[in-house]
A and B are shown apart, each in its own frame.
Chain A
């Protein structure tokens, strides 16, 4: 079963529009971590945010904000006033804590965001 689902395969927005990328995860653990990564056309995955399962506070960092809701197992990512440089593939990932041999990341299939100037 897919542990991380990113249902939106591709999204296109016009510059300055807001856009929300959805992430739904599945785990039986009570303690886990969620992450968002950005993969620009150059290819290198760039870490954006980490969230643990006990911290449901929403977070804002500049134009980026994250909405974590355990009740719906979702960790959505919003870009406000999008810019062309935001064009990339965005991955959501899950890390479960109580594994015998340490953490492994489960990545979603990614959402490709295109910001049109």
Chain B
């Protein structure tokens, strides 16, 4: 039984470049979440999908950020024109959402982004 996987695990980029991260959720999970975590902080919600629909976006998600989940399976998170403030760990999580209940989210190992 495979868990949530993320690729790449580490990314170093120069300011102004675009980067794209991929997340593969647990196969039977219909919800997929993206979070950002900086040192000494808890994960901060960015956005989430139910199947292929993006249902909510945080105000943290500026217009340089875009996420997709085209077939309701894997998801990508793209950051355009990266800034040093984007340096963080980007976490993906998935869960099985059924009406009337809130299941725990299972997290991937994260992608650590460093913008130089």
Contact = CB atoms under 8 A, between A and B. Distances in A.
Interface of A: 4, 33, 35, 37, 42-47, 50, 52, 91, 93, 95, 97, 101-110
A47 B106 CA distance: 7
B48 interface: yes
Contacts of B109: 42-44
Query: In which size bucket is the chain B interface?
Result: 20 to 34
Contacts, number: 57
B85 interface: no
A44 B104 contact: no
B43 A107 contact: yes
Given A33-B102, A47-B106, A105 B45 contact: yes
Contacts of B108: 44
Given A50-B104, A104-B48, A44 B110 contact: yes
A93 B89 CA distance: 18
A42 B55 CA distance: 31
Given A45-B93, A103-B97, 6 more contacts: A4-B42, A44-B108, A45-B43, A47-B107, A110-B41, A110-B42
A109 B41 contact: yes
B114 interface: no
A75 B34 CA distance: 25
Contacts of A97: 102
B44 A104 contact: no
A45 B42 CA distance: 10
Interface string B19-58: 0000000000001010000001111110010100001100
A72 to B, nearest CB: 21
Nearest to B95: A103
Given A44-B110, A45-B91, A50-B104, A102 B43 contact: no
A108 B44 CA distance: 10
Contacts of B33: 105
B105 interface: yes
